[in-house]
Amino acid sequence: MSAPAPRRLLDLPVDQVDRARDLAARAGQPIVDLARRHTTVSVERATLRLAGLGGSDPDGIPWVNRLTDAVRADLHDDGGLAHGVSLPVWDALVRGEAEDLATLAQKAGAGSVRFRVPAGEDARRAGEAARAAVGAGVRRLDERRAERERLVAEVGDAPRKPWIYLIVATGDIHEDIPQAQAAARAGADVIAVIRSTGQSLLDYVPEGATREGFAGTYATQENFRLMRAALDETSRELGRYVRLTNYASGLCMPEIAALAGLERLDMMLNDSMYGILFRDINPVRTFVDQRFSRQVHARAGIIINTGEDNYLTTADAVEAAHTVTTSQLLNEFFAREAGLEDWQLGLGHAFEIDPAVPESFRLELAHALLARELFPDAPLKWMPPTRHMTGDVFRGYLLDGFFNLAGALTGQGILLVGMMTEAVVTPWLSDRDLALQNVRYVLDSAGNLHEDFVPAPGGLIHRRAREVLGESVGLLERIVDEGLLAAIADGTFGLMKRPADRGRGLDGVAEKAEGYVNPATELLEGGQP
């Protein structure tokens, strides 16, 4: 069963849709300009990771952190980052301070090497050496993307859309693996290894396979490698490629994006404002990091999943529906500017209207269909009810069935499996099996119902969709006038007020100096390695 071809069922005013996109571009462009003018410690560390630097010291601190911190300590302009780390690091290598990047990092961690910003011929040689090293990493992204395409062609793809997306996360990667394989055998098309609570606030990426994590499993390169290899094995067993998802968010967003590309993950949670709103990460840090991370995703052929569903966990799903649409339009602009194509835009939204609201299911259909028609070529990520799950598992199972039906009726691309035990316990394997049975029943029995589903012209669904679009246009007009950073500071999204001069990670942001060099940025913006 293929995804339904997008149809215009809402008869949205074309001029209003065009105006919404134009306003989103006008609101987003100053943020892009801001991101272009700045760098962050995580962008610089991601560049070192693409050049092949991995591992950690005996205390578990990654060598990319040690090396970046040493450069910052020796250079004093704008926090030591204004020229980036590439010129100082490869200048030291060209000067013979160490035979390779790993040794240089170890020497830097011991304080036995000093860094400078080279000039003239020294700068040219350092730049060439840096481009060669980072270029090899970017070529590796290309190779892993081609490898995915070959494997999908070899073993086959998921036979239907929406793809069924299921979360697995015990804290122990070696326990996650058999659970993920069991979920795939039970019908899941996408396995998401949810990240350990609090990892987004760590300004380093843990190293190696991890056996402990709270409400999730740490995102590490080795954990990525292990899970991808296991799902490749299961893909061959099942005759369909099983996709793997993790999180490129938080203070290490660019680094995790690079590691995901290097280890052939297929999707990454990557929202432009989630870290700002729900983790109190500095807005400038977040926007700089998300642009770089999305450039990596674009190159690696990774689908991003955005986080608009989270707004509806703190704000009313009816009153705040237009903020979801507004964020989707902004996410679309930022993603396209970074090089992502429409098939990579897993724009998020959710089934979160209070079931006690009259006509709640019809309103959910209106919101879901509005997203589907605004972004006809995007694989929308449709999220199940969470906020109004009460612990009554029978009621929860019914709500999830309605959610699955709405997804089938409106042609969502990625359908996250709802759990009837949401808000009660971390799901057992048996809970997941029942939840997958719910999804399979709805998709098998009503999967083609979209062919017959035509909302009445002028009816509630039509009126509600137009109302939300109109409110979104009004909000975008205000954002254009006031600026997106001001809107975020005012609590426009998710009722969270986040000023641009506050938040975690601000000390890791620097304005680029004249002569700033970053080979990764150059290559990801269109150069060939």
Distance, in Å, from the CA atom of 238 to the CA atom of 241, rounded to the nearest integer, reads: 8
- How many helices (H) and strands (E) in the chain? 19, 11
Instruction: Give 154-189 as a DSSP string.
Output: HH---SSSSEEEEEE--S-HHHHHHHHHHHHHTT-S
Query: Quick check: 377 and 342 in contact, CB under 8 A?
Result: yes
Distance CA 352, CA 419 (A): 14
Q: How far is CA 221 from CA 22, 134, 235, in A?
A: 39, 18, 21
**Number of CB atoms found within 10 A of residue 173's CB:** 25
**Active-site positions?**
274, 309, 381
Q: Can you tell me the distance from the alpha carbon of 97 to that of 126, in angstroms, rounded to the nearest whole number?
A: 13
Rounded-to-integer distance, Cα 179 and Cα 333, Å:
37
Are residues 337 and 381 in contact, defined by beta-carbon separation less than 8 angstroms?
A: no
Q: How far is CA 157 from CA 152, 241, 441, in A?
A: 6, 5, 20
DSSP element (H, E) containing 382: strand 381-383
Token pair, residue 487, equals 């809107």
Phi-psi region of 265 (alpha: psi -120 to 50; beta: other; left: phi over 0): beta
Q: Which residue has the tokens 């609090």?
A: 198
The two structure tokens encoding residue 294:
């999305």
Handedness of CA 176, 181, 182, 186 (dihedral sign): positive
Q: φ, ψ for residue 192 (rounded to 5)?
A: -110, 120
DSSP string, 244-291: EEEE--GGGHHHHHHHHHHTT--EEE--SSHHHHHH-B-HHHHHHHHH
CA distances from 521 to 92, 256, 483 (A): 21, 16, 26
Helix, strand, or coil (residue 193) = strand
- What kind and span of H or E run contains 332? helix 321-337
Give residues with Cβ within 8 angstroms of 131, minimum separation 6: 519, 522, 523
Count CA within 13 A, CB hemisphere, residue 452. Answer: 4
Sign, CA torsion 18/23/29/31: negative
